[in-house]
A and B are shown apart, each in its own frame.
Chain A
Amino acid sequence: MNKEMRDKKMQGIPEELPEPCARAEELVAYLYREANDAEAQEFEAHTQHCESCRTELAAFAQVRGSIDEWRQQSLGFLGSPALAAEVVPALDAAAAKQARKRSALAALREFFTLSPMWMRAATVAVSVCVCALVVMIVARAEVRWDASGISFSTGVSRERVVERTRTVEVEKPVKVGYSKEEMEQMVEARVRQERESFQKRPAQEATITTGTRPRTAVARNSPQFASGDRARTPSQQTVAQRDPLSEEDLPRLYDLLGETN
């Protein structure tokens, strides 16, 4: 044995074996008794002439014997109930959990099958209401019913669902509180009043007071008339010189409206 081979031996490196025969697969099949009768007889005949196969068959048989010895020693103490006792209950628990799920579903299905129609409808309606309530709570929904209508909001945006029609204020030709007939009555009463007062006053001087524009009627033979104080409108004539019932003397409607403001 040379130095190299001694080193390999000390390091546990196996030595090289002779080249195997090309019928390795047949050898293995024969070794493990998986060859059929014809193949087995044929290989036996081969080993009569092939020393390599004959040597390997013997060596492999020893290896198998060692492995079998190890197997017998190792597995002889195995307690099957221990493994089964640990694994099976865990699997049973998992299977029971699945069965519970199935039984709950089966119970629900049975309830809907056996219960009358009204009960099913009531159950569905209650479920829908509960779901809607939950959705509204989650979405922070808000429903308001006030004077302006019903409004629904979800905390994100506000929406007005129902609105009352708005009342549009139209500008009236007459003031609030006085109708047309009332105004005419007021005008007639005022005119009557002015006539009466005008008739009762002295002929020389009579003042027709119409709101903010007082007018003084001056007689022609009065000193004021002679002084040339003629700064007066045509309406500032003496009532005696004119027809007290003339159109010009009548207070104008505009002035009367101004007083009543």
Chain B
Amino acid sequence: METLTSDEQIVWRALAGDADAFGEIVQRWERRIFALAFGMLGREEEARDATQETFFAAFRNLRSFRGEAKVSSWLHRIAINQCITRQRRAKVRGETALEDETSSEGTTFLAPAHQSPAQAAESQERTLLVRRAVSALPPELREVIVMKEFEELTFQEIADALDLPLSTVKSRLYTALRQLRMRLEGQGAEAA
């Protein structure tokens, strides 16, 4: 993983007029931002659009970046805002990520090669359950669990990105895990 200092250097180069500098930022962070968006939105196409919008917004507001926060925190904050905005729009339209489960635009799952078809089907079933559970979380809990599990950010990085105290991040993460446990155990027992 590249150091945060090098990310900042790239941003300063972009601010100085280097046309290729911001492209390096995109290539470095697109996978992680996409992972975050996918964890928040649950749809590949939505996550892709949100990722693009994140980098476009970052480029437009590049001059407002003062270096007080890390580049990663800055990008995550923009991505979270993009995802929350999309979720609100989807909520207004009455759409949910679960509606794409049976459609052709739904997420494509890539089963590991060593799994049998039965195991792959079981794996997809568990994945569907956890997707439902994560989607059912409140936004403030969903964003911390996605940033921790999908982005693998530290507590401090999450606190910086969301502008929250460290203890609040830990508390929300604990609450999110507790609710996920309740839902997965309940759905698992129901399925059984």
Interface residues of B (CB under 8 A from A): 17, 19-20, 22-23, 26-27, 30-31, 34-35, 38-39, 44, 48, 51-52, 55-56, 59, 107-112, 123-124, 126-127, 129-131, 134, 145, 148-150, 154-155, 167, 170-171, 173-174, 177-187, 189-190
Contact = CB atoms under 8 A, between A and B. Distances in A.
Given A75-B38, A84-B26, A91-B26, A59 B31 contact: no
B19 A86 contact: no
B88 to A, nearest CB: 23
Contacts of A15: 182, 185-186
A66 B17 contact: no
Contacts of A56: 178, 181
Contacts of A24: 170-171, 174
Interface string A4-24: 000001101111010010001
B149 A71 contact: yes
A91 B17 contact: no
A183 interface: no
Contact of B34 (A31, A83, A90): A83
Interface stretch (A92-100, A117-125, A225-233, A247-255): A92-100
A72 B134 CA distance: 16
A67 B130 contact: yes
Contacts of B26: 83-84, 87-88, 91
Interface size class, chain A = 35 or more
Contacts of B127: 66, 69-70, 73-74
A92 B34 contact: no
A64 B55 CA distance: 29
A25 interface: yes
- Secondary structure type dominating chain B contacts: helix
A76 interface: yes
B149 A92 contact: no
Contacts of B190: 9-10, 12
Nearest to B48: A83
Question: A-B pairs with the 10 shortest C-beta distances?
Answer: A14-B182, A95-B19, A76-B110, A25-B170, A66-B130, A73-B109, A88-B23, A14-B186, A24-B174, A70-B127
A84 B110 CA distance: 22
Contacts of A257: none
B35 A71 contact: yes
